[in-house]
Structure 1
Amino acid sequence: MSTTVWIILAGAVLTFLTRIGGHMVLSRFERIHPRVEAGLNAVPAAVLTTLVAPAAMNGGIPEIAALATGIIVSIVAGGMMPMFLSAAAVLILLRHLTGQ
C-alpha cells in the first residue's frame, strides 16, 4: 500500500476514535450540565468560523464573491445545501475565469 493510503486510513481511524470517544464520555452522565451543552452546541459555529475567516480576510475577489453568494443564498433559500452548492459554484467559476 502506498503512503497516501496509509495516511488516509490513519486519519479515518483517528477521526472515528475522537468521535466515539466523546460519545462514550458523555454517555456516562445521566444529564449534561447546561453550560457543557451550550459549549458543545457552539462547536459547529466555531469550526465553521475557523474555515471561513481566513478566506474572508486573505481571499481575493473569487473568495469574497463566494462568501457573499453564500450569505445571500442562505437568507433567501434558508438551506445549507443550496448555500454550499451556490458558493462553491461561484468560487470554482471565478477561480477558473481569473486563472487562480
Structure 2
Amino acid sequence: MTDLISADMALLILAAAVATFLTRIGGYVLITRMKTIPPRMEQALNAVPAAVLTTLVAPAFFNGGWDVKIAMLAALLVGIRHPGLLLLGAGWAAAMICRHLLGF
C-alpha cells in the first residue's frame, strides 16, 4: 500500500462528513422553523445527554479491564457530591493507582 489514504477511504470520510453536516444543520433548521417545541420533542431532546453519555461509558466499562471499572466507579462516587473536575481527577487517580501500584 503506497498511498497514505486510498480513494475509497477518502470517499468514505467525505460521505461521513457530509452526512454529519446534513444531520446537524437539518436539526437546526427544523427547530428554528417551529414557533414552539412540542412537549414530546422537548422530552426527547432532554434525554439526549444521558443517551450520549451511556454510549460513551458503557463500551469502555464492559470492554475495559479492572482498572477502567475501578476508575469509573471512583469517578461516579466522587461525581455524586463534587463538580466535574474532581470527578475527572478521581477517575484518573484511580486508574493510575490500579495500573502502577496494583498492576491491573
TM-score (ref. length: structure 1): 0.68
* Identical-residue share of aligned pairs (%): 45
Q: Which residue of 2 aligns with 1:52?
A: 57
Mapped to 2, the partners of 1:26 and 1:89 lie a distance apart of 42
Please, what is the CA RMSD of the aligned residues?
3.1
What are the equivalent positions in structure 2 for 1:77-88 lying under 5 Å apart? 77-79=82-84, 81-88=85-92
- Shifted more, 39-48 versus 13-22: the winner is 13-22
2:40 paired residue number = 35
CA drift at 1:76: 2.5
How many Å separate the matches in 1 of 2:17 and 2:92?
A: 25
Corresponding letter in the other structure for 1:84? L
Please state whether the residue corresponding to 1:29 is helix, strand or coil. coil
* 1: CA distance, partners of 2:92 / 2:25: 30
**Matched length:** 97
Greater Cα offset, 55-64 or 44-53: 55-64
Once the two structures are TM-superposed, the CA of residue 24 in structure 1 deviates from its matched residue by 1.2
CA distance in structure 1 between the aligned counterparts of 2:59 and 2:47, rounded to whole angstroms: 19
Aligned to 1:76: 81
